[in-house]
A and B are shown apart, each in its own frame.
Chain A
Amino acid sequence: MVVTPIKFYQTGSFAVGGRLLGDDQRSVQSDRERINSIDCGHRACQGCGEALGARYALDAAMRATANQMVAVNATGCLEVFSTPYPETSWRIPWLHSLFGNAPAVATGVAAAMKAKGRTDVRVVGQGGDGGTVDIGFACLSGMFERNDDVLYICYDNEAYMNTGVQRSGATPAAARTATTPAVGPEPGAVFGQGKNVPMIALAHEIPYVATATVADLRDLEAKVTRAMEFRGARYLHVLVPCPLGWGSSSHDTILIARLAKESGLFPVFEAEHGEIVATSKIRRRVPVEDYLRRQTRYAHLFGEKPRADVIARIQAQADRNIRRYGLLGED
């Protein structure tokens, strides 16, 4: 009997893998022989989104580069939980220098590879949101404007988690952190602050900018793969929930990332040479409240005196994203 080519599977394209998928349809993560760029035994908290995001991204990058890749890491959780002497979790060539210089160090590695005629070896810089949007921002912008051949990945968990959950430039409004406590008339991080680094990256008109979450592995892998098709500066901003800092259940890490996207609070898009070329549409739209309620960093909005006004302002942010990025409709 002629077997019709497989078009659908029980879980469409949303699951990690599936026994019926062809080799070209399998995610990197579904591969039994996947590289596991970050190995077992790392000391990340239970349910750490960053550990997951880093493995997703780097494994995909390793596949895209035929394992010819070097990673440069900013100081932060990812660095600390992966390389406490005498153990490292990295299975890839990996360098940690400082908190604020990962993009520049990555530039240096790329420059070295170019000078040595090893342009087959690709460079990934990576760090958390603090290392990226705050302290490392000058280096990041410099790397962008020079169009250095680096893919920089920001694992955004929206605060300085390694130091004990302090506010960063990526902390969202109303979120409680240790330096934006949930006290006073405007508890948590204030509205009107923070920076949108993906859009700032976009403004550099670098070859490739994308956002992603750990909730959509295939999208993330596709973006890493796409990023590796370009030469020059590339930026990938991945939302990675932090159970500790966000006050969420360890098993909800992926769910929360999904809700961030489905509510519109975290727009997922990709851009090439300064223009957005695709947005991931919201599939099952949810009110921001569904997202906020699962995190104790927003618990003050749902306490004895619920802050419907604050929730409405957050909803307005999501609605603006939905308008601005065109997050509704068909893909």
Chain B
Amino acid sequence: MLRQIEGSRAVADAVALCRPEVICAYPISPQTHIVEGLAELVKSGSLAPCEFVNVESEFAAMSVAIGASAAGARAYTATASQGLLYMTEAVFNASGLGLPIVMTVANRAIGAPINIWNDHSDSMALRDAGWIQLYAETNQEAADLHIQAFRIAEELSTPVMVCMDGFVLTHAWEQVDTPDQDQVDAFLPPYEPRQVLDPAEPSSIGAMVGPEAFTEVRYLAHARLMEALDVVPDVSDRFAEVFGRNSGGLTRAYRTEDADTIVVALGSVLGTLKDTVDELREDGLRVGVLGLTCFRPFPAEAVRAALGHARDVVVLERAFEPGVGGIVTQNVVTAVPAARAHTVVAGLGGRAVTKTSLDRVLRAADRLPSLTFLDLDRSLIDRELGRLAAARRSGPTAENLLRDLGAVASRIG
């Protein structure tokens, strides 16, 4: 059913259609509306049987999900930013235990400085957590990816993180086609765990494993994620069969076939990029876009196939490794060692990624340095660097920058 609906609500409805049995929720912007929607569904009785647990922290949220999943329940939670970091230990644990939990990450920057707006620092920080990471481009895809995520997770006994850009998607009202319950039921069979806490068949889950077998256990986790490279597109295909639209998969290419320059990106920025590409194409520049829907596991083969012919690869990243540079870039380069890759870090902490700026860097793709910070206010940086050089106690950098900008009180919610 097509509805004009907030992204969070669309996701909540999609999750509800997957019949989760345990939902654990801790509020953090910009994820909150999702669990609020689910709370309403559970409380009203329209999502049943389902236990909605208002936990005391994200660490508890993931822990409750671990317990629920190990007990054979379909478990779901959602978080963002600090919350994701706060639950980190449990995030790793869930994948280590092979529990098919699905979690929405409403992508948001990580402090300090505290910032509630969108970038990918949170999920990127947990890219090594052993979870499958899917990035939604649109609210429709966000909704669809959740339905796929449960199937992928349960097929592989591996947790899945569905990443959607905070505010940009979560709070955006768009048309979303919400499927029928019958369709979802047909697509998503009931959860049949590989291991379960069952009094009728007791086992010990979560043993301590020493050097004699730890490597093998870790290798098996790796193998399971590599297996996802087949499962993720397969599930996407089956989804298309049932629901009649393409969502998910590993990568999505846009006008890349003849492109000299291909921009690689994840998430909602892909829409802006496609518009920009269309405009650049009108000017005769052969530019294309490769969207990574699946970042973990990294679809190296698909990326290589898509980028192999490109002269320049621009990786537009909404997070980066301080002291190194692009995160996605490294993965791309590993997949396509011959690529001339340029990292463009953009949209940190909610800064708008405009067509104008994208247009500017893409026109100069062949001349880009290896690392560019899009729309960086160089003068602000220089003033602060100057202060730092002049005085040891120069005050907090973020406050100084804001003062320079003339916005003394930051309105952080």
A-side residues, CB < 8 A to B, are: 67-70, 72-73, 79-80, 82-86, 88, 90-98, 100-101, 104-117, 121, 138-139, 141-142, 145-146, 148
Say whether A108 contacts B90, CB under 8 Å: no
Say whether B202 contacts A115, CB under 8 Å: no
Closest to A94 in B: B204
Say whether B207 contacts A101, CB under 8 Å: no
**What residues of chain A lie closer than 8 Å to B51, measured between beta carbons?**
111-112, 114-115
* A/B interface sample: 20 pairs, CB < 8 A: A73-B206, A79-B208, A83-B207, A92-B202, A93-B198, A95-B204, A101-B59, A106-B67, A108-B63, A109-B70, A111-B64, A114-B51, A115-B49, A121-B199, A138-B56, A139-B57, A139-B59, A142-B55, A142-B56, A142-B60
Say whether A96 contacts B67, CB under 8 Å: no
**Residue with the highest number of chain B CB atoms closer than 10 Å, among A84, A92, A105, A141:** A105
Number of interface residues of B (CB under 8 A): 45
Binds A, one of B71-79, B158-166, B353-361, B362-370: B71-79
Closest to A111 in B: B51
- Contacting residue for B60 out of A72, A85, A101, A109, CB 8 A: A101
Say whether B207 contacts A88, CB under 8 Å: yes
- Contacting residue for B63 out of A114, A117, A139, A145, CB 8 A: A139
Say whether B65 contacts A108, CB under 8 Å: yes
**What residues of chain A lie closer than 8 Å to B50, measured between beta carbons?**
115
B-side residues, CB < 8 A to A, are: 21-22, 24, 49-51, 53-57, 59-60, 62-73, 75, 89-90, 93, 97, 197-199, 201-210, 212-213
B56 to chain A, nearest CB (A): 3
- Contacting residue for A104 out of B49, B63, B209, B212, CB 8 A: B63
**What residues of chain B lie closer than 8 Å to A80, measured between beta carbons?**
208
- Give the distance in Å from the alpha carbon of A141 to the alpha carbon of B56 in the complex: 9
Closest to A114 in B: B51
- Give the distance in Å from the alpha carbon of A252 to the alpha carbon of B384 in the complex: 66
B165 to chain A, nearest CB (A): 28
A207 to chain B, nearest CB (A): 18
- For the complex of A and B, list the 8 residue pairs with the smallest distance between their C-beta atoms, beginning with the closest: A108-B67, A96-B206, A142-B56, A112-B73, A104-B63, A112-B71, A101-B63, A105-B67
- Give the distance in Å from the alpha carbon of A56 to the alpha carbon of B213 in the complex: 32
Say whether A95 contacts B67, CB under 8 Å: yes
A47 to chain B, nearest CB (A): 22
Say whether A90 contacts B71, CB under 8 Å: no
B15 to chain A, nearest CB (A): 15
- Total A-B contacts with CB atoms under 8 angstroms apart: 168
Closest to A142 in B: B56
Say whether A104 contacts B68, CB under 8 Å: no
Say whether B59 contacts A100, CB under 8 Å: yes
B50 to chain A, nearest CB (A): 6
**What residues of chain B lie closer than 8 Å to A70, measured between beta carbons?**
71, 197, 199
B95 to chain A, nearest CB (A): 12
Say whether A107 contacts B64, CB under 8 Å: yes
- Give the distance in Å from the alpha carbon of A201 to the alpha carbon of B254 in the complex: 59
**What residues of chain A lie closer than 8 Å to B212, measured between beta carbons?**
85
Closest to B56 in A: A142
Task: Given A88-B207, A116-B72, decide whether A97 and B63 contact each other with a Cβ distance below 8 A.
Answer: yes
Say whether A90 contacts B63, CB under 8 Å: no
- Give the distance in Å from the alpha carbon of A155 to the alpha carbon of B152 in the complex: 39
**What residues of chain B lie closer than 8 Å to A93, measured between beta carbons?**
197-199, 201-203
A281 to chain B, nearest CB (A): 37
Task: Given A98-B89, A109-B197, decide whether A115 and B63 contact each other with a Cβ distance below 8 A.
Answer: no
- Give the distance in Å from the alpha carbon of A283 to the alpha carbon of B210 in the complex: 47
**What residues of chain B lie closer than 8 Å to A111, measured between beta carbons?**
21-22, 24, 51, 53, 64, 67-68, 73
Say whether A109 contacts B71, CB under 8 Å: yes
**What residues of chain A lie closer than 8 Å to B60, measured between beta carbons?**
101, 104, 107, 138-139, 142
- Give the distance in Å from the alpha carbon of A109 to the alpha carbon of B97 in the complex: 15
B388 to chain A, nearest CB (A): 38
Say whether B63 contacts A98, CB under 8 Å: yes
Closest to B26 in A: A142
Say whether B49 contacts A95, CB under 8 Å: no
A320 to chain B, nearest CB (A): 32
Task: Given A70-B197, A96-B207, decide whether A142 and B57 contact each other with a Cβ distance below 8 A.
Answer: yes
- Contacting residue for B206 out of A83, A138, A146, CB 8 A: A83
Known: A93-B199, A116-B49. 19 other contacts (CB 8 A): A69-B199, A73-B206, A79-B206, A83-B206, A97-B66, A101-B62, A104-B59, A104-B60, A105-B63, A106-B67, A108-B63, A108-B75, A111-B73, A112-B72, A113-B71, A116-B21, A116-B71, A116-B72, A145-B56
**What residues of chain B lie closer than 8 Å to A94, measured between beta carbons?**
197, 202-206
